[in-house]
Structure 1
Amino acid sequence: MTVRHALHALNRPVLLAGLLLFAALAPVHADDLPTFNLLIKAGHFVPETLEVPAGTKFRLLIKNEGPGAEEFESIELKKEKVLGPGASSFLIFQPLKPGSYKFFGDFHPETAQGRIVAR
């Protein structure tokens, strides 16, 4: 056996162990998460209240159908996302404890109010 073949054979178990470790530590894909939709329209969030399962990681898909920019912001949840008119985006939330979490839109703070309720 040549040195090259010996090194190649030695690297196979290391490569396999690395791949198994990567697979075990890989995050859950966003496609596998429960998804909840939030629409921004005319300076309002629709729906104003989103119910999500407590203790479950989830994705919030946000679409801005308004004529101007709007922001999803939650100080309690430490999340924010600005969307231009017609834009869509998403946020991933780690599992929430049961409770109510407020969010608002910075561009229309009087009307763009909502909450996420984890049950």
Structure 2
Amino acid sequence: MKLKLTLLSIFLTCSINPVHAETPVFELIIKDHLFFPSELTIPANQKIKLFVVNKDDTAEEFESHEMNREKVIPGNSKAMLYIGPLKPGRYPFSGEFHPRTAKGIVIAK
């Protein structure tokens, strides 16, 4: 009887799927050569998925040297990037094709 309980306990322990935390998803929109929101707060020390939706007719490049990310998003389309995990802090980004207007910052808290 003791052996059956032990085996049953091992079986149940091994067969339970561990709960995996899902990657948080955030969205940035490019419209009129501006990023919305211009400040994006994300969790620190955690990888995130960032969807960048370009509602302009022209392409824009999401660029951040501090986050080591660069991605061209064609006009009227969207792209997905993984960012992080980032230490707590502020990480600027810009649109390389319109650097005067397309600016923003990721705040990792």
- 1:43 corresponds to 2:33: yes
Superposed, 1:1-119 pairs within 5 Å as 32-119=22-109
Runs of 4+ in 1 over 6 A off after TM superposition: none
TM-score, length of structure 1 as denominator length: 0.72
TM-score, length of structure 2 as denominator length: 0.79
CA RMSD, 1 decimal: 1.4
Contact in 1 for aligned 2:40/2:105 (Cα 8 Å): yes
Q: Structure 2 stretches of 5 or more lacking a match? A: 1-19
Give the length in aligned residue pairs. Answer: 90
* Higher helix content, 1 or 2: 1
* Higher strand content, 1 or 2: 2
**1:87 Cα shift?**
1.1
Q: What amino acid does structure 1 have at the position aligned with 2:96?
A: D
Q: Equivalent pairs: percent with the same residue? A: 44
C-alpha distance in 2 between matches for 1:53 and 1:89: 21
